[in-house]
Structure formats: C-alpha cells, structure tokens
Structure 1
Amino acid sequence: MVRLPLTPAEVERGQRLGALLRRARGQSSMLNTALDAGVSPETLRKIESGRVATPAFPTIAAIADVLGLSLDALWAEVNRPDGAAAGSGRGEGERLVS
C-alpha cells in the first residue's frame, strides 16, 4: 500500500495533538501511560513528538481514556485554527479534561 505524503495541515495537526497529550500527561510516566493505554512507549513517544501525525483512532482513544480526556474536546483543540482562543482562560490541559 502506498501512503501519500502528509499535507502541512496534517503535520501541524499531529504536532498539536502531540503537544496536547504531553501537557495532559504532565508528570505521569510515559511508560506507565503507554502501558495503561495498551500501546508501546515508542508509539506514545512518536505521537507526542509529532513524528506520527495521523495515529489510529483506537490508539488516540485509548491514550485519551488513560489521561481522562474527552475525545470531543481533544478533537476540537487539535482542529482549532491557529491563534483561536478556546475558552475561559484556563490552562489548555484543563480544558481537555472531561
């Protein structure tokens, strides 16, 4: 199967996703978070670093569940246009918690 190159928008969205997951994980161990989500620590590291810009939905759903994140809020944050304010001025990680 040939995979088409990612668009700049997809790469940017992957970077935002990774940054959001890193912030939501906070001081929690990457190893424990990954294992609790049923993914490899390497997969989580690649997603958080933006190297995997389009991870599979079940992977993100599992990580979000472990971190206590709402998928709706996560989707809204990741797909927000640059510079758009999203809410009440709380920290970004706080907006994501369901």
Structure 2
Amino acid sequence: MVRVPLTEAERERGERLGALLRAARGPRSMAEVATEAGISVETLRKIETGRIPTPAFFTVVAVADTVGLPLEALREATTGAAVR
C-alpha cells in the first residue's frame, strides 16, 4: 500500500498539535506522560515534534486526557474553528 504524501497544511497542523500537547505537558517528563497515556515515549516524542502529523485518534485522546487538555482546545488549535 502506497501512502499519499501529506500536504504542507497537514504537516503544519501536526506541528501545531505537537506544540500544544508539549505545552500542556508542562514540567512533567515525557516518560511520565507516555506511561500514564499508555503509549511509548518515542511515540509521544514523535507527536510532540510533528514527526507523526496524523496520530491515531485514541492516542491523541489518551495524551490530551493525561495532560488535562480538552479535545475542544485541540480542535480549535489545529483547525482554527471554534466548537459550537
């Protein structure tokens, strides 16, 4: 299966998502957050740096829940759209 290359907008959205999750993590270590979210530290690192610009939904939910970030905030930050 050949994967369609991401657009520049998709890459930028992934970088915004990663930056938001990193900021929400605050002083907590990557290891602590990853363990609590049930993912590997390497997966969290890749998401935070934008190297996984389209992470799985349930992975994002787990990380957001762990760092106390509402999904609405993620949506607004990555799409610019306010939740109605």
Task: Structure 1 unaligned segments of length 5 or more: list them.
Answer: 87-98
Aligned length in residues: 82
Counterpart in the other structure of 2:17: 17
Task: Structure 2 unaligned segments of length 5 or more: list them.
Answer: none
Counterpart in the other structure of 1:45: 45
Distance 1:35 1:2 in 2: 32
Task: Tell me whether 1:75 sits opposite 2:75 in the alignment.
Answer: yes
TM-score, normalised relative to structure 2: 0.92
The amino acid that maps onto 2:26 is G
Deviation per residue, 1:48-95 (Å, 9 max, x gap): 0000000000000000000111111211111128xxxx9xxxxxxxxx
Counterpart in the other structure of 1:89: none
More helix by share: 2
Over aligned residue pairs, what C-alpha RMSD do you find? 1.4
Identity across aligned pairs (percent)?
Answer: 61
TM-score, normalised relative to structure 1: 0.79
Deviation per residue, 1:8-48 (Å, 9 max, x gap): 00000000001001100011010010010000000000000
